[in-house]
Amino acid sequence: MTVPLPDLFKRVTLAPGGVRINTLVGGNETGSPVLLLHGYPQTHVMWHHVAPVLAEQHTVILTDLRGYGDSGKPPGGPIHEAYAKRTMAWDQMLVMRELGYEEFAVVGHDRGARVAHRMALDYPQSVTKLAVLDIVPTRHALRTADLQLGLAYWHWFFLAQPEPLPEHTISADPAGWVRGRLASGRRGGQPFDAKAVDEYVRCFREPAAIHASCEDYRAAVGADLADDDAAAARGQRVTAPLLALWGEHGFVGRRYGDVTEVWREYAATVTGRSLPCGHYLAEEVPRETAAALQHFLAD
């Protein structure tokens, strides 16, 4: 079993759309289903504190996004469409349908929250609740970008550069890159679990994972931004109740203040608050994160 998650989560190998999606399922079989989506440069293991708490009341599904962890890492394509959030959202929809869930809640952190946002837009009949951890919409971040954002999110623009610049640079020291990204976002709370960090490094050492994660960011400034602009032009908003949580000491909290105000432009019903941490809420302040999610997800 992948460390450090407890044995109550059982691994299921699924490839309903032709791309293997590493999936774990566990918890209360009579509870409503909740899909947890991880961020960069991590895997489903980032939920190791929070998932067992949510599993007391819910069936919890943990996945690795395509390109990450032990999921498949297909070529990105000429315009990086294989890593568009629309494509990654479709992966997750297929997984949930394969497991027999037509309606479910989604909780996403970082890149996973961007996939979750797209799921809620594309499949409003399926996503019953949406929780986004420490992000504002991709479109909002990019369309309001300035010097402050460029300095804080420099890796966005670095990773989006054409192949092979970022791949070559990261591959020189992938462990250092992963540990550096984690350290730069942490602002208090408890330290990362060493076994979890080792797992992130294990997965990220693979050249295909480095390339796929760069494709993720290339898609963000191309296909994802185009899709988000089109949704905004149509007046499309998230219809499911949305919870925004963010770290008060991280960039998102410092930059945007009350993040719920940003999300109200993109969703009909928004609640949320800051937590006393940086970017990695589920690992820095897991008790507070789990409690906020439990309250939001309660039937």
What residues act catalytically? 110, 279
- Helix ranges (H only) for the chain are 50-54, 85-98, 111-122, 138-143, 147-152, 154-159, 165-171, 174-185, 194-204, 207-219, 225-234, 251-256, 259-263, 281-284, 286-297
Pairing of strands 33-37, 21-27: unpaired
Could you give the CA distance from residue 54 to residue 33 in angstroms, rounded to a whole number?
10
Long-range contact set of residues 147-150: C-beta below 8 Å, sequence gap at least 24: 148/255, 149/255
Of 164, 165, 85, 132, the C-alpha closest to 243 is: 132
Could you give the CA distance from residue 14 to residue 66 in angstroms, rounded to a whole number?
12
Could you give the CA distance from residue 224 to residue 49 in angstroms, rounded to a whole number?
30
Of 242, 230, 231, 228, the C-alpha closest to 271 is: 242
Tokens standing for residue 126 = 């399926």
- Please list the residues that pair with 49 across neighbouring strands: none
| Residue 183 CB contacts under 8 Å (≥ 6 apart), including other chains | none
| Residue 179 CB contacts under 8 Å (≥ 6 apart), including other chains | 197, 201
DSSP secondary structure string for all residues of 6-32: -TTSEEEEE-TTSS-EEEEEEE-TTSP
Length, in residues, of the chain: 299
Could you give the CA distance from residue 105 to residue 80 in angstroms, rounded to a whole number?
28
